[in-house]
A and B are shown apart, each in its own frame.
Chain A
């Protein structure tokens, strides 16, 4: 397997440990000013980013059946996902979903490298949004660099202040939306407008806004390089058939500047004109011509810009391109390799299993709590009473009427004070019940009995729980 690993160049961090000279690279971080690009991948990314941002800010406002469509209602401990309601008892499904998510990430990484990082990762999406704001206010890369070098002036201050105000406003809206997924967003908005927001919600909105502002405004590529756990281990999932962004060294080298129209072969040059544009557009500030590096987030900006250069020079596009290591070395790329087939089957099985399990969920929960005041009570007729509180949760989206029965011992009488056992959708009902029994049938002091609760309108909606019936010592 190890022979099939692509060659990843040591990262800056790794280098700095062995080579004190270069440690200054990240001891004093140099701000990266990514240059604006245009091109097909830029457009694809913009579409992706707009769709994702639209989903994020939009879905929070969708309604479904009278409640927020997607709401992880922490104050009420209920999770709504469109027509489904989940409870803390359903945590298992959530864990299952996380396993599927992790596996999908492995799958896509093996197949398509860091497609996730470049197109869909929230860090990328919000950084791009913040960069866009920055460009609108501060101008192009060159203008930004010049301004940052210049002395502080009234104009510079004004421009910088404006940028930060817009960033903060955008971050606050992001934080508000985030909290809106955990407490109903319409209520939240109302509370903000009437200045009656609770302290905890306020805190989390500010917390998340600050994180957005810090990560997308200031930290940017450093999050990917130093904080992202995925970036650290993704290369382990790469092989020589993984889609990567690479510079075609054979074609490009020896690099060198030249006049347009000159035949590079005559001068002994490759196709790279050494314009360094690919370095200038890179959001993580690396040079793709040094080979596959773990800082590369696969954003394809260098492809777009280099394709432009190739066009202008009249060379063929694709000096930097999406490719695989096998392809670069002239071999064929194999898509269906054992690990991909394995991942596919595993993913299908897990996803199918999850859908089945969710559809088979019994939307009723029953808890038996014994009365704490005493083990049992004796009636005047010499019968034994055990008292319980049944905790019934109707997890269904509609109200139900239930029937309760008890079994396990001969001749038990079930006494329920309420004439009807009903629970509204999402309601938790505490039901006191008494089980009465002639002690003559008891063979032991402590006996297992079973309570069964069944919906009257749906015999499939049923739960059986075990309780204990205690009598006098025999």
Chain B
């Protein structure tokens, strides 16, 4: 198997997760207004931009994890016994 260069691998993990995180952020915040969410948590002062941004990065963390795991499990299993 050919080694995929490191930078290529970084793109393969970071880029799709970025796209899906962006999509998830849009869908999530269309449904929920950050200010309502903040009110639920009992916070009165919060900027919507701030909540959007934090929300986006939380989503990215999630999708990044799953992309990383895909990348990890894609490696061939070791076949020492063969």
Please list the residues of chain A having a beta carbon within 8 angstroms of any beta carbon in chain B.
16-17, 20, 23, 26-28, 74-75, 77, 88, 91, 183, 198-201, 203-204, 226-227
Contacts and interface: CB of A to CB of B under 8 A. Distances in A.
Contact of A204 (B5, B11, B30, B53): B53
Given A27-B5, A75-B49, A77-B48, 18 more contacts: A16-B2, A23-B3, A26-B5, A26-B8, A27-B3, A28-B5, A75-B47, A77-B33, A88-B33, A91-B30, A198-B47, A198-B49, A200-B47, A200-B49, A200-B53, A226-B11, A227-B11, A227-B15
Nearest to B7: A29
Contacts of B31: 88
B50 interface: yes
A74 B3 CA distance: 43
A26 B6 CA distance: 11
25 contacts: A16-B2, A17-B2, A20-B2, A23-B3, A26-B5, A26-B8, A74-B49, A74-B52, A75-B47, A75-B48, A77-B33, A77-B48, A88-B29, A88-B30, A88-B31, A88-B33, A91-B30, A183-B49, A198-B47, A198-B49, A199-B50, A201-B49, A203-B53, A226-B11, A227-B11
A313 to B, nearest CB: 41
A75 B48 CA distance: 5
Closest 4 CB pairs of A and B: A200-B49, A27-B5, A91-B30, A23-B2
What secondary structure prevails in chain A residues at the interface with B?
A: helix
Most buried by A among B31, B33, B48: B48
A171 to B, nearest CB: 18
Contacts of B30: 88, 91
Interface residues of B, number: 16
Contacts of B2: 16-17, 20, 23
Contacts of B11: 226-227
B71 to A, nearest CB: 15
A226 B11 CA distance: 8
Contacts of A75: 47-49
Interface string B2-19: 110100100100010000
A27 B3 CA distance: 9
Given A91-B30, A226-B11, A227-B11, A200 B5 contact: no
Interface string B49-71: 11011000000000000000000
B59 to A, nearest CB: 15
Contacts of A23: 2-3
A79 to B, nearest CB: 11
A309 B49 CA distance: 55
Contacts of A27: 3, 5
A196 B31 CA distance: 31
Contacts of B8: 26, 226
Contacts of A226: 8, 11
